[in-house]
Each structure stands twice: as structure tokens, then as C-alpha cells.
Amino acid sequence: MNMAPLVDGSLVVLILAVAIWTIAVRDSFAAVVGYAIYGLMLALAWVRLAAIDAALTEAAIGGGLTGVLLIRAAVRLRPTESVVAGDSPAWFVKALAAVLAGAVSLALAVVVLTLPEPAPTLAPQVAEHIASTGLGNAVTAVLLAFRATDTLLEAVVLVFALIAVWSLAPDRFWGGRPGQHYHLEANGMLAYLARLLPPLGIVVAIYVFWVGADLPGGKFQAGTLLAAMWLLAIMAGLTDVPEVRLVWVRIALVTGSAVFLVIGFAGVPFAGAFLAYPEGYAKPLILIIEAASMLSIAVTLALLVLGPPERRGQS
Amino acid sequence: MSALATLIPETTTAGGFLLVLALVLPLAGVFAALILGGCNARRVAMLTIPLGLALAVAIGVELVQTGQTVIYLLGGWAPPLGIALRADGLSAAMLLTTTVVLLGVALFARDDFETPENLREARAPFMFWTLLMAVWGALNAVFLAGDLFTLYVALELLTFAGVPLVSLEGHSETLRAALRYLLFALLGSVLYMLGAVLLYGAYGTLDIAILAERVRPGMLCFAAGALMTVGLLAKTALFPLHLWLPPAHAGAPAAASAVLSALVVKGSWFLVVRLWFDVMPGVVTFSAAQLLGGLGSAAIVVGSVVALRQERLKLLVAYSTMAQIGYLFLMFPLAFDVSGNGPVHGFALAGGLLQVISHATAKAGMFMAAGLIYAALGHDRIADLAGVARAMPITVLAFALAGLALMGVVPSGAYLAKKLLLDAADGSGQWWWTIVLQGGAVFTAGYVVLVLASVLRRRSDPLLLVSRVSRLSELVALALSAGSLLLALAALGPVPGEFVSSPFAPKEMGVLLVVFLGGSLLASGLSRRSLLGAAGANAGVMRRIAAGVGESFELADGVIRRWQFASISLLMLAILFGGALVWGAPPS
Amino acid sequence: MSATTLFGLCGALLVGVGIYGLVVNPQPLRKILSFNLIGSGVFLLFGVVARRGAALGMGGDPVPQALVITGIVVAFSATALAVALLLRLHDVSGTASLTTKESPEPSDT
């Protein structure tokens, strides 16, 4: 009894329907909520494609954090909605855009249908070398051993993006606290959740990080979870976001990449190449890099969601 | 500069570790600036950039000595499983140019972005120095990475470092320009990634060297090639995808504009070269290359004419960048030989590379000069620049030399580049590009003459300077412009000497005269008001027709730069390129 | 038609939908949404390529899966920057539109 095509088919139809709705609906707030739903359904698609690590990352970052980011923006931009909507293009522009976008989709569809058989893959090579990394999760091995430079550069991307976001602060608030001040409603639901969930979330995050060496998981997913817990505490008013000029904030941002670089350079005398791991020490070193990166990722992601500094000191 | 041989199978070459250092040094600089804070950011930049220059020289020396591509296998893993850093002649030249220009910008902006005494950290100074190193790091990654996905990450690094430079001042118009830049650049990079996924799906690797061996013409490659090329063209702001460039480069502070025009746009251009010459040489067709060249020619004409129509100096220089970017794409059709095979690593590639280096240095000098004029006068209205030549001779000289360098006057790098490209055009029988190459100088001369005529005018009353400009800044601008003008002399080593004739030979003088006359004619006809007075003797009907032509160019540019028009052009170009790839191979 | 091909076609269509939204929607926030749609479509294609490369007991080729994770993080950073830029533009100018009415003032220095 093969239900699979039915499940996949329904999932695809749902995904496309929500995507089209997101584009077409008038109200931007509704579109953004639709996008968050879309992100979660996309995570299901990833599960169907047997890519659990990607599913976790998509659910956490693609659906979760991106959703939070866009919803906060949509709320703030509500007053400008109708003004800008008036700039909507003429019908023939829309028609032309639809035709062209359709042509691109068609070309892609043809390419997808004619992908070569048998499919070229690097799985055999990964299987051959994974033993030397001591890891059980092939994706983690690719991320932190075989293509470690990509991961290093991606950590740098996060820092650069945050620096760029900070550059948007008004001069007088430079180095101050991002986002607004959230008032604590001591008996409110949000405060209750913010007291209940973070300890759980931290434990789950550490578990996801630890188990990511051999099973789906790893520092990105764990870091995102930590970031979400921190954001929850901030938005409930239990704690306030620190001023970004503080040295410990800066150090927290940089630590992941710094540890990565140090271990990478240590690989030169001990293992013969930058970002190579000495025999037998690969797994502990990788876990150290992941731990440091997890913390940096958590701080960076949370600060990216909160935006540029908007207030100073106590306010 | 021909392609240097790679070792197959690949191993890390002797000097390979230099590549790792070149990649990591700027990033370490950014981190150090973050932690040490505000006033130290400038010190970190001033320390690391000369070190980077030394590294770039070392890599070049290593390359010349061994005669082979410098390779480093990251983590000891060989592609296709791992990622390799590779430096060939193209990379080494770009690394060197980048550090030289950055050094110049750092010296130029040394006083402009000083942290005030009473503050530990201020936004604009901290941002400027950190972003300078960030741009540098991103560019090094672009020039050295040998894997298409790593290059995607590097492109994003470059965008994230370049966008805040545009909005550094914080005014609403610069913020708007930065947002348009970011959104269009993101569209470009997602199309690039789309092409990359198709390539992986077909060949199981994204390593450039391995793809070069495996890639075969076919529907998939054509789609990937078209998408990636168009995505990169959007990031390079080639006509008609230049919607974001003029306001972004004109709105940024002068030092930032210099970096954006001279260096940032070259990153995506570099990837187009890698894609066409190294990844897909057997797939890209003669027709597709003609399309690229055609867009480049259109950029030269439209950009130069609209530059002539500008009222503000910085916008004129920004449109000049847009025009000069067109030159960078003339090398593509010229890399094909008579029977339509190519692209080959020959004179056309060398010409294109020289074009990039001379443009980077000259444009940096030009933006610096424009910035100095703005700072000194408090405005940059071209009509009101009378007397500036007397008051700021060094600055004006820097601008003039930069203009001459861009026009391709002997012995500038652009001149030698033009000669190399003309040689390629003759060799492959593509006479139409000869016309473009020779004629392009006239268009460039147009706006150079316009500005020079304005600043050289005499003033009855003494010029009021709002502030004094730093002598060091003026000298740096002059040095960069002069460097571009004399570049042909430095490039004479690897290139046959008979290409460069004496500047005082009658033929060269004659060409120069014609170019100047043509430029003056253009300037007097098409610019907003006849700044050349009696020199523009065609009054009356002719003047009105010319003014009408100029106005229509400006209007057309305004329409092309609307979001819907530009994004639809992008899609149409993708389809056109796809078609040119599918049907474009000449029967042979 | 296998599940993998189905998801591949889904990805192709998502790219088209996202491109349409990016061209047509005037609000910058919707453009950012559309960019994310295109990105997720491309990632889905990576996933399809990965699934097709399943071998030796692994559910899929791990390299494209790793690339997707990197890509999702990069896309999020881009979204965060774009949103911050948009909100700042809104704060400074009161509008949230990409179109300008006049050419920008060149800056000091």
C-alpha cells in the first residue's frame, strides 16, 4: 500500500498554494504569516527528501526566525501599506512578468526532468573518508571537515551581516541597545512561558548540538534554539538586550570564528594543512569548534532579529 | 597573460599557504576591529593593508617563479570532496590591484574617518574601517576560491560589505539606494546559486577545475550558464541592469564610492570571467559572447551620454563607472577566434585584465578628486566649478590624469588594453568591435572635457573654499590617477613591446586630437547647458537637436532604471542568453 | 513520477512564483518575501539533487544537504539586513518605497 505519492503530492500542492497566496494576498501581514506557515511545510518536504538536518534548519531558521523577523517588520510597516500598494504595476507588466517567470520555471522543470541517470553523487567519497573524522553524521562531516571553509566563511557572513545591520543605527544610539524595551507583565502568559521554556530549550539545544555529531542536528539548529530562547526572555521583559558596544558582546560574536581559525591554523603543524585534523583528535576538535560556534551563532542570530541599536543605556 | 598550467592530480603547491594567509588576514582584521573597538579600527586597517600588499606581491612572485597556478587544498581534502584555493595570473593581478587601491583609499580617508576625541567609538569611522577590511576579505575570497558554492558565499560577503558603504551617511536617499542595491544583488546571487545547483545535479561537483573537464554542451549547461551569467551581470550593473549603481555610488562618501566603483563591482565581473573562460569554455557560444559585447557597447554609449547630462560631479563620475563597466565586457567576444572557437586565454583576456586594473586605479583617483572638490566647495555642481583649477591644482590634475587614463591615452593601461583588444579583433575578423573600441574613447572624452572645461574657467571673484583639504589626500588621488596613466609601462614585461608606441608619435597625437575634438563636440551638444561657449559653434537647430538627443537618452535611462523594467530586462536577458547558447554555435 | 521529481518540479515552480513576486510587488517587504521564496525553491532543488544521490546506506548525498544548511543561514542574514535597511528607511523618510522622485544628493566627503 503506497501512500507516499499521495502524501508527497498533497504536500507539494499545499506548498505551492501557500506560496502563491503569499505573493498574491493584499495585506503584507497576512503574507508574512503565510510565509511562516510555508517555512514549516517546507520542513516537512525536507523530511520527505530524507534530509533531516536541512529540515531542522529550515524549520528553525527559515520558518521560525525569519518568520519572527518579517512579522515584526510587517507590523511596523503597516501604516505605509496602502501608500506603496498604489505603485502596483499595470496589467501588461504583470502579464509579461508572469510569462517570463513561467518561462524560467518551464526551463527549470525541463532540466529537472532530464537530470542525468545515474545521478552523480559524492556519497561514496564521503563514506570512504568519514571514518577519519570520527563522526557518524555525514552532513556534519561535510560541514566541519571536508568543506569546513564554507562553514567558516558562513560564520563570517553572519558577523558581516550584523555589522551591516549595526551601521544603520542613528549616530546618537551607536553601540546602544537594539530593539524596543519590553515591559514585564509579571503574571502574564508571555512571562510564564519565558520562565518555563528557556531552561527546557537550553537542555534541548545542548542535546541537539551533542547528538549532531552522529545523528541529525548540530550547531546551527542548537544555536537557533538558544537564540529563540533568549529572544523569548527579552520579549517577555525578563531580561534586556545588552548594549552592543560592550566588549563581551563583541567577543561572543567573534569567538566561534576565532576558535575555528585557531584550530584551523593548528592543523598546519599537526595535520599538514589548514583546517585539517590530526589523526584521532578530529571528533573532539570538531566538537570544540561546534560548541564555540553554537554560542556565537546564538548571539548573532538573536541580534540580527533585534536589529540596529535604537536606544541607549537604561531606557 | 595566458593560463598557467595546473598540476593534475592536484596537490598543494609550495607557496600555497600564502593563499590561506591572504584569505584569513582581512577577516582577522575585521574581528580585531570589532573587539578592540572604535578608534583602533583605523589602526588595525592601517596595519593589515600593507601586510596584505606584501602577501599579494609574494603570491605574484611565487606564481612567476614556479610558472604554475598556486594551489592549496583546504583541510588536506582534494576536490571534489574538499575545496581548493587557486591563484592563477588573473587572481594574482586582482589581489595586487585590490590591495594597492585599498591602501590608497585608506591613506586618502585617514583624516575623514577619525574617531572624535571624546568618544571611544563612533559609528561612521568604526564602520568605514571595518567595512574596508570586510570588502577586502570578501574580494580575496572571490579571487582565490576554487569552488562555485564557496564563491557564492564570498559574493554574499561582498554584498554585505558593500551595501552599508552606500548608506554610510544615513540620509534617506542613500538608504533607498542601498536597499535597491541589496535587493537587486540578492536577486543576482540567487540566480547564480540556481545555476550552481543545476551544475551539481549534472556533474556531482562544484569545483572549477573538475567542472572544466566534465562540462558538456547541453540543455542543463545552457540553462545554468544563462542564469549564472545574468545573475552576475545584475551584480556588476551592466546595462540594462544598472538601476542601482548611479545613486549608490554617487550617494556614498567619496572614499566609499572609490571602493565601490573600483573594486566591489569587479568581484562579480571576475566570476563571469571564471565562468566563461574556466568552467564553461566549451559551452559558451560565439553569439552569447556577441550579446555580452553588445550590452557592453550599449553601456558605453548610454552611460557616457547620460554622464554628460549630469549636473553634479559625483553623479557624472558614477555614470562614468557604468560606461566603463561596458568596456570590461568587450573582451568576451574578442576571445573567440575566426572559426568561432573560444574563449581562449589570449590577448583578449590580457586586454580585459589590463582594462580592469586601469579602470580600478583611475576611477578611484577620479572619485577621490571629485570628493575633494565637494569637500572644499561644499557642493559639486558642475556649472559652478569655475576657478577650482586655480584653487586646487593638484586635485584637478588628478582628475585630468584619471580622465586621460580612462580615455586610453598613451601610455595608460587602457591604451595598452585597447591595443590588445584591437589585435584580437583583427585576428578574429570582428571588425565591428574595432569601431566600438576606437569610438568609445570619444564618448569618454566627452564628459572629461566637460568637467575640465568647467574647472578651468576663470573666475572674476576669488573662490570661497568651505574647508581645506588634506594634502595627503590630494597626493594619493594624484598617485592613483598617474599610476593608471603610466600602467602600460609597467605591463610591458609580459606583453610584447611593439604594442606601445611613443606618446609623441604623429599617429598617436593625431588620434588624441580627434578624440578630444569629438569629445568636445559631444559635450557641447549633449550637455545641459553649453559650457564650452564659443567652442560649440553649432548653434540653433543643431543645438536643439543635440539637446533633444541628450534629453531622450536621459529619459530612457530613467525608465530603464525603474525596478519593474530592470527586473523584466533581467528575465528577458536570461532567456536571450539561453537562446544564444542553444543556437549560437557557428557551424564549424 | 517519483517523489523526488515531484519535489523538483515544486522547486522549479517556486522559483517562478518568487520571481513573479519580486518583479511585481511594489512593497519592499513583499520583495524580500519573494526573494526568500526563490531561495527556498533553489534549496529544494539542492535537496532533490541530494536525494537522487542516495547511496551506500545514506539517505542522500550529504554534500548538497550541507550546502542547503549554509544557504539557509546566508539567506536569513540577507533577509535580516534587508529588513533592517527597510525599517531604517521607513524611520528616516516615513515611506517604504523603492522609487525615488529625484536624484539623490551626493554626500559630504
pLDDT of residue C29: 93
- Tell me, yes or no, whether B450 and B588 share the same domain: no
Q: Is the CATH number 3.30.420.40 carried by domain C3-93? A: no
CA atoms within 13 A on the CB side of C58: 31
pLDDT value at A259 more than 80 = yes
Looking at the structure, tell me whether residues B141 and B199 fall in a common domain. no
Same domain, B191 and B258: yes
User: Does residue B551 lie within any of the structural domains?
Assistant: no
pLDDT exceeds 50 at position C93: yes
Rounded-to-integer distance, Cα B553 and Cα B572, Å: 21
Sign of CA dihedral C81, C82, C83, C87: positive
Contact indicator for A212, A219 with CB cutoff of 8 Å: yes
In terms of CA atoms, which chain A residue is nearest residue C59? A50
The pLDDT value recorded for residue C98 is: 81
**For A156, which of B27, B202, B203 is closest by C-beta distance?**
B27
| Chains linked to A by 3 or more Cβ pairs within 8 Å | B, C
Interchain contact C65–A (C-beta under 8 A) = yes
pLDDT band for position A260 (cuts 50, 70, 90): very high
* Lowest mean pLDDT across A91-105, B118-132, B312-326: B118-132
For residue A271, report the phi and psi dihedrals to the nearest 5 degrees.
-135, 5
Q: Is B50 on the interface with A (CB under 8 A)?
A: no
**Model confidence at B514: pLDDT above 80:** yes
- How far apart (Å, rounded) are the C-alpha atoms in residues A206 and B221? 43
Residue of chain A whose alpha carbon sits nearest to that of B142: A153
> H or E stretch including B146?
none
pLDDT band at A180 (very low <50, low <70, confident <90, very high): confident
What is the number of domains present in chain B?
3
Q: Which residues contact B294 (CB under 8 A, 6 or more apart)?
A: none
Query: CB distance from C90 to chain A under 8 Å?
Result: yes
Asked if residue B80 and residue B15 are part of one domain, the reply reads: yes
Spell A283-295 as b/e; 16+ CB within 10 A means b.
bebbbebbbbbbb
Q: Are B1 and B350 in contact (CB under 8 A)?
A: yes
The stretches of B285-346 forming alpha helices (DSSP H) are 286-308, 313-328, 331-334
Same domain, B242 and B334: no
Helices (H) and strands (E) in chain A, counts: 13, 2
Closest CA to B448 of B564, B342, B307: B307
Partners of residue C104 in chain B, C-beta under 8 Å: 171, 173-174, 176-177, 247, 250-251
**Could you tell me if B106 and B35 lie in one domain?**
yes
What average pLDDT score do residues A10-27 get?
Answer: 93
- Clarify whether residues B459 and B365 are in a common domain: yes
Quick check: is B65 in a domain?
yes
What is the distance in angstroms between the Cα of A116 and the nearest Cα belonging to chain B? 6
C-alpha cell at B270: 571576475
Is residue B417 within 8 Å of residue B354, measured between CB atoms?
yes
- Above pLDDT 70, what percent of chain C? 90
Let me know whether B398 and B293 are in one domain. yes
Interface residue A5 vs chain C (CB under 8 A): yes
Q: Are B292 and B278 found together in one domain?
A: no
- State the complex-level ipTM: 0.95
8 Å CB contact of A111 and B198: yes
Chain C residues close to B180, C-beta within 8 Å? 98
pLDDT at B571 over 90: yes
B588 has a pLDDT exceeding 60: no
Task: Please indicate, yes or no, whether residues B509 and B376 belong to a single structural domain of this protein.
Answer: yes
- B34 in contact with A, Cβ within 8 Å: yes
Evaluate if residue B495 carries a pLDDT over 70: no
pLDDT of residue B111: 85
Q: Is C109–B375 a contact, with Cβ atoms under 8 angstroms apart?
A: yes
Among A93-97, A134-138, B9-13, whose mean pLDDT is lowest?
B9-13
Beta bridge partners of A144: none
**Is A253 a residue whose pLDDT tops 60?**
yes
Q: What is the mean pLDDT of residues B569-588?
A: 83
B436 within 8 A of B387, measured Cβ to Cβ: no
Query: Which residue type occupies B222?
Result: F
At residue A212, the pLDDT reads: 85
Is A107 touching B (CB cutoff 8 A)? Answer: yes
Query: Are B141 and B226 in a shared domain?
Result: no
| pLDDT (0 to 100) of residue C97 | 82
Instruction: Compute, in degrees rounded to 10, the torsion defined by CA atoms A216, A220, A222, A226.
Output: -160
**What subunits make at least 3 CB pairs under 8 angstroms with B?**
A, C
User: Does the CB of A113 have a partner CB in chain C at under 8 Å?
Assistant: yes
> What pTM does this model have?
0.94
Those of residues 161-190 in A touching chain B at CB distance below 8 A are 161, 163-164, 166-171, 174-175
Residues from chain A that touch B127, judged by Cβ atoms under 8 A, are 163, 166-167
Domain parsing of chain C, residue ranges? 3-93
Q: What is d(CA B108, CA A260) in angstroms, rounded to the nearest whole number?
A: 34
Instruction: Grade residue B283 by pLDDT with cuts at 50, 70 and 90.
Output: confident
Residue B519 clears pLDDT 90, i.e. is over it? no
pLDDT at B532: 46
Classify residue B519: in a domain, yes or no: yes
pLDDT band at B551 (very low <50, low <70, confident <90, very high): confident
Those residues whose C-beta lies under 8 Å from the C-beta of residue B108, and which sit 6 or more positions away, are: B254, B255, B258, B368, B472, B473, B476, B477
Q: What distance in Å separates the CA atoms of residue B385 and residue B451, rounded to the nearest whole number?
A: 8
**Residues of chain A above pLDDT 70, percent:** 99
The region of weakest confidence among A205-209, B503-507, B561-565 is B503-507
Suggest the residue from C14, C70, C105 to mutate for an interface test with chain B (most B CBs closer than 10 A): C105
Express each pLDDT in A275-287 by its tens digit. 999 888 888 999 9
CB distance A272–B76 less than 8 Å? yes
CB B357 within 8 A of CB B93: yes
**What is the domain extent for residue B360?**
284-546
| pLDDT class of B196 with cuts at 50, 70, 90 | very high
Binned at pLDDT 50, 70 and 90, residue B502 comes out as low
Q: Give the contacts of B122 (CB within 8 A, at least 6 positions apart).
A: A171, A174, B38, B115, B116
Query: Does A94 lie at the interface with B, CB-CB under 8 angstroms?
Result: no
- From the number of C-beta atoms within 10 Å of its C-beta (0-12, 13-18, 19+), residue A280 rates as exposed
Closest approach of C12 to chain A, Cα-based (Å): 5
Check if the beta carbon of residue B94 is closer than 8 Å to that of residue B266. Answer: yes
**Does C30 contact A89 at a Cβ distance shorter than 8 Å?**
no
Helix axes B17-36, B123-144, angle to 10 degrees: 160
- The reply to whether B253 and B352 lie within a common domain is no
| CA torsion angle B454 B456 B458 B464 (round to 10) | 80
Contact C89 B194 (CB under 8 A): no
What's the CA gap between B575 and B136, in Å, rounded? Answer: 34
Size of interface A-B (CB pairs under 8 A): 170
pLDDT at B2 over 80: no
Q: Are B569 and B241 in contact (CB under 8 A)?
A: yes
- A155 and A293 Cβ atoms separated by less than 8 Å: yes
What is the C-alpha to C-alpha distance for residues B60 and B50, in angstroms, rounded to an integer?
A: 15
CA pair distance B235, B243, nearest whole angstrom: 10
CB A94 within 8 A of CB C24: yes
CA distance C39 to chain A (A): 10
